Amino acid sequence: MNVKDVLKSLKTSERGLSEKEVNRRLERYGRNKIKEIYRINPIKIFFKQFTNFLIYILLVGIIISVLIKRYIDASVISAIVLMNATLGFIQQYKAEKSILKLRQIFIPKAKVFRDGKLEVIPSQNIVPGDIILYEEGDKVLADSRILEAENLEVNEAILTGESNPIEKLDTIIKQDGLLHERLNMLFSGTTIVKGKVTAIVTETGMSTELGRIALKLQEIKLPETPMQKKLDKFAKQISFIVIILAVLIFILGVTQGKDKIEMLLTGIALVISAIPEGLPAIITISLAISTKKMLKNNVLIRRLPAAETLGSVTVICSDKTGTITEEKMFVTDVFCNNKFFKNTKAGVISENKSTNLQKEKELFNLVKTSILSSNARFEQQDNEYKVIGDPTETAFLSFALELGIDRKILTEIEPRIKEISFSSERKMMSILRDGIRRKILYSKGSPSSILEKSAFEFKNDGISCLSQKRKQEILKIAENFEKKGLRVLAFSYKYTNSEKTLESGLIFAGLIGLLDPPRKEVKLAMELCKKAGIKVKMITGDSLLTAEKVGEEIGIKGKVIGGRELEEMTDEELLEDIDNMAIFARISPQQKLRIVEILKRKGEEVAITGDGINDILALKRADIGVAMGKRGSDIARDVSDMILLDDNFSSIVKGIEEGRIVYDNSKKATKFLLASNFDEMLIIAYTLLFNLPLPILPLQILWINLVTDAFPALALINEKGEGVMESKPRKEKSILNGIFSFVLIAGIVSAISSLIIYHYGLTISLEKARTMVMLATVGFEVFFIFSCRSSRSLKEIGLFSNRYIWYAVGFIIIAQLALIFTPLSSVFYITSLTLKEYFFIFIASIPGLLVFEAWKMIKKK
């Protein structure tokens, strides 16, 4: 079809649809989104809980118990297996639900024409017939037919597998070819890699080409984090050791004439107790909780491992504009016709006098060039102007509106013909327009790039030749602007009848300086990074002087290096000196990637920010790729690990802090689980070595494991951070680093307490001794959990600062009361005790807390 027929077929116009028609079509076609084909399958998750090594051991125990007709033992072990599976199911179900929610949070925005006005709307509200505008880096949000295209190239790899960009055209295709042959169509999910396009939406949601293959894109995976991999390796190693010890205990017990079945079940129970099988699930929950907290700080984690990896970041490479600065650009200084103009609240002044725009033709010409070489536009809503577009370009447009210059009128007089897009090599862009008598090219870019292409200057109501000496004078003026921390752009224009060699022989119009002040909170975030041992490097396309001034204001100290200087350095020279470099200015995307590569060669964990299509390689290569939520391109967000919803540097620092808290809390849970179960192995080994009766029975071991493992460990991962940003980034090879001695001492203290109560109980009866040992072991873990909360004393952190600890303690106490005072007591061989005996159990329960709290206080002194 030709464009006219397409518009007619979809019952729309180039002005777009009315709001009334949009609402009608939303009802008819539904929201523009791919339906979630993946569904969390509770049954599948539940049965997955039975597919681990430890459950297999318990199942063997059940089978053996049934074969030898010990049905009570079989029933109890079965109940424990089911309870463990239920707890595991709840944990994983919650984690998957959290991750699924996170995937749905970031809804892309689309620029569409509605009633002739350009609006920015959520992509879900796009309907067939909408006129939509895409630029370089945007993701195509619905299947569309091209109306107008300039230098358009699209990456369709997601649909066709073809990695090379495809050139697209606003033309008629005579035959209905294969997908990659439909050169006048854009397909949902593909990406604009070059150029600009206006298109009309033909299909949305599940009716798009992407919707038809949505099943492949809806798979959800919970990737293993580096910590989980360490834990998995650690669990396998400890499992091997524990199984050998359990076998030795079994052999030793049998040689002493103890019941073989009793010893077999004891061995199985010890294996279950000593191996922290719940840790990987607890880490997943910890990361899911952390991602929710990060979201409150405007950090959206796209991949779960990133939440943990953030905690080990040693270098942040950050953009300047919009991340470190506010990106609320406004024009402050203007130079043209050898005059300096200042934009103040009182208006534009020159030499302390108000400016008359009608008398200042050169100023009018410069402002006109700035808005006609830009794509920003405005709409009037409720007597207010709403400006849409790139922040730099919107600043020019706002400045023009303040001066009473209406871009809409100018663009109607001089309609657009084509655009020569900005490139990092040329450092400029141009728009060719159709003037009244001839074509006019309007250009903007860096002062050096524009002056290099300029041969003339517009001043004193006429055009004069631009000498090399004059160019140097103008560059010096631009440099002085930059010293004030301004971003400086130069402008030129040219009348032409030909479209060949457009960007040459230009007429220089002037300079405009824009101020983009640093965010107030960034300076504090920089100080926090310094305390935390994290190096911050600013990477920007702005000039050295502008970057240096901003760096000075926020506290970035170190060598400032430009793109040309960097280009001349070898990798070896850069590797040697990169630690001293703090600010990289006039940097190209390829150089950005090189900086990341060199830092990684030095062994740094690198987080890097990026917002454009050219940043993709650096974002993918870094340990943490950080995309911008507001100004970032869709393709940059797609390859990133996390998205800053507010584009704010300080949000990265908050994310790093949360990542460190995750790791610290995971270590707390690890040391609690290892230490609390180590003592059972020790007391059984002791009684076998001295040929004493077993101090605790298999079912009792399983009960202890059931009530004291999951809930306390989950409570510990909710601890608040304590001075995590006052220590250097971690470089630990093992999860046991720094906690091994704690685990060992805790196990020994617990074992001594249990053995003292055991020997006391034996003076009364074996049943009482076993009951007291079991209750004392659980009691020890109830008190011990408070010691695992922090390296600081309870007095410093506060007894009630983590309510989840008290929920866990409450659960254990209720479970213990149910065990003692219900028929469960006979199943687990629990006998009645006197108040005196309960008092002794209480005394045997508190050594762990007392020993470690005393040690913390001594250490502090």
Q: What is the SS3 string spanning 303-349? A: CHHHHHHHHHCCEEEECCCCCCECCCCEEEEEEECCEEEEEECCEEE
Give the tokens for residue 482: 């930059």
Q: Cβ(624)–Cβ(653) under 8 Å?
A: no
C-alpha span between 121 and 135 (Å, rounded): 15
Burial class of 858 by CB neighbour count within 10 A (0 to 12, 13 to 18, 19+): exposed
Q: Which of 130, 138, 319, 542 is catalytic?
A: 319
Tell me how crowded residue 262 is: count the other CB atoms within 10 A of its CB: 17
> Cβ(650)–Cβ(519) under 8 Å?
yes
Q: How far apart are CA 748 and CA 628, in angstroms?
A: 51
The candidate with the shortest Cα–Cα distance to 281, out of 57, 89, 55, 468, is 89
The rounded distance, in Å, linking the Cα atoms of 432 and 439 is 7
Residue 838 CA, distance from chain mean position: 51
Other Cβ atoms less than 10 A from the Cβ of 381: the count is 10
What tokens were used for 782?
Answer: 């109830």
* Residue among 751, 618, 761 at smallest CA distance from 689: 751
Instruction: Compute CA distances 832 → 381, 698, 776, 810, 838, whole Å.
Output: 79, 19, 14, 22, 10
**Closest C-alpha among 322, 332, 295, 656 to residue 519:** 322
> Which structure tokens are listed for 408?
């809409």
Separation of alpha carbons 396 and 367, rounded Å: 7
Contact 288, 94 (CB under 8 A): yes
Comparing C-alpha atoms, which of 60, 97, 44, 91 is closest to residue 277? Answer: 91
Active site residue 319: yes
Separation between Cα atoms, residue 486 and residue 107, nearest integer Å: 34
Query: How far is it, in rounded angstroms, from Cα 185 to Cα 199?
Result: 9
Angle, alpha carbons 167-171-175 (nearest 5°): 95
Strands 347-350 and 353-354: antiparallel
Residue 1: how many CB atoms within 10 A of its CB?
12
Q: Please report the sign of the dihedral spanned by the C-alpha atoms of residue 359, residue 365, residue 367, residue 368.
A: positive
At which residue do the structure tokens 């909710």 appear? Answer: 718
- CB-CB neighbours of 750 under 10 Å: 27
Report the alpha-carbon distance of residue 629 to residue 105 in Å, rounded.
11
Nearest to 279 by CA among 323, 233, 314: 233
- What is d(CA 389, CA 395) in angstroms, rounded to the nearest whole number? 10
Torsion sign over Cα 564, 569, 573, 574:
positive
Instruction: Match 């006039």 to its residue by tokens.
Output: 586
Of residues 147, 237, 142, the one with CA closest to residue 190: 142
Q: Tokens for 296, please give them.
A: 């409150």
Q: Dig out the tokens for 404 from the structure.
A: 């009473």
In the numeric block, the tokens 């006609």 are attached to 372
For residues 373 and 375, what is the distance between their CA atoms, to the nearest angstrom?
7
Sequence-separated (6 or more) residues with CB below 8 Å from residue 467: none
The Cα–Cα gap between 686 and 38 comes to: 53
Contact 703, 823 (CB under 8 A): no
Kindly list the catalytic residues.
319
